[in-house]
Chains A and B, each alone.
Chain A
Amino acid sequence: GEDVEQSLFLSVREGDSSVINCTYTDSSSTYLYWYKQEPGAGLQLLTYIFSNMDMKQDQRLTVLLNKKDKHLSLRIADTQTGDSAIYFCAVRDQKVTFGTGTKLQVIP
């Protein structure tokens, strides 16, 4: 089955850019997602990208997709303390597979 890998932890200073990375194994994945989970809460869909796109920008969020390397990234510009959360990458082919999540810590 599909494997989706993320690093477990990322620490950045407030105002810097954050880049959260994700790799996956199934090249037939059609939709790729980023979810955010704040402490004690469920997951919230942040953005998604179709596999025929290379980039998608939405305000402070930029998603980059490298299909050749099966690599997805989420860039958060001007990171704020409110961005502290766990970020999950997910990919969809016949079903949706979630990554392990990256905990983003924003240092004031």
Chain B
Amino acid sequence: DVKVTQSSRYLVKRTGEKVFLECVQDMDHENMFWYRQDPGLGLRLIYFSYDVKMKEKGDIPEGYSVSREKKERFSLILESASTNQTSMYLCASSLEGEQGAYGYTFGSGTRLTVV
């Protein structure tokens, strides 16, 4: 069964800490995405990547960075965590081009609490 795996389901971090959220997919997908989900706001795109070592800013990149050193792994980094980054973080992947139009595969999410 193909899937997207996020390394942690729940994380609690302190303000100012550097936080790494890891995502691995086993489908050989070219595209990978990081979203955050907040009640009443839906999903907002933080960063995405269409290839190894490539990254593009999404709609809300401030306070975040990403790394994609291998095709299957896409990491989200919170350089200095703040309480307003408390959220559910969702990783997704898809094929490129028109085949990618058939939808995304999502991980189970990481619920991050910053205290």
Q: Are B4's CB and A42's CB within 8 A?
A: yes
Quick one: given A88-B43, A100-B41, are A42 and B106 in contact (CB under 8 Å)?
yes
Query: What is the number of contacts between chain A and chain B, taking CB atoms within 8 Å?
Result: 46
Q: Which of B9, B41, B45, B104 touches A45 (beta carbons < 8 Å)?
A: B104
Task: Give the residues in chain B near A96, CB-CB below 8 Å.
Answer: 104
The answer to whether B103 touches A45, judged by C-beta atoms less than 8 angstroms apart, is yes
A33: contacting residue among B90, B103, B109, CB under 8 A: B103
- Tell me what chain B mostly uses at the interface: helix, strand, loop, or mixed: mixed
Q: Check A100 against B106 for contact (C-beta < 8 Å).
A: no
A68 to chain B, nearest CB (A): 22
A62 to B106, CA, bound (A): 23
Question: Which bracket fits the contact residues of B?
Answer: 20 to 34
Distance in Å from the Cβ of B101 to the closest Cβ of chain A?
A: 5
Q: Known interface pairs A48-B103, A96-B104. Does A43 touch B41 (Cβ–Cβ under 8 Å)?
A: no
Known: A42-B90, A43-B90, A48-B103. A95 touches B45 (CB 8 A): yes
Name 11 interchain pairs, CB-CB below 8 A, sorted by A: A31-B102, A42-B4, A42-B108, A43-B106, A45-B105, A48-B102, A48-B103, A98-B43, A99-B42, A100-B40, A100-B42
Chain B: residues with CB nearer than 8 A to chain A?
A: 4, 9, 35, 40-43, 45, 59, 90, 92, 101-109
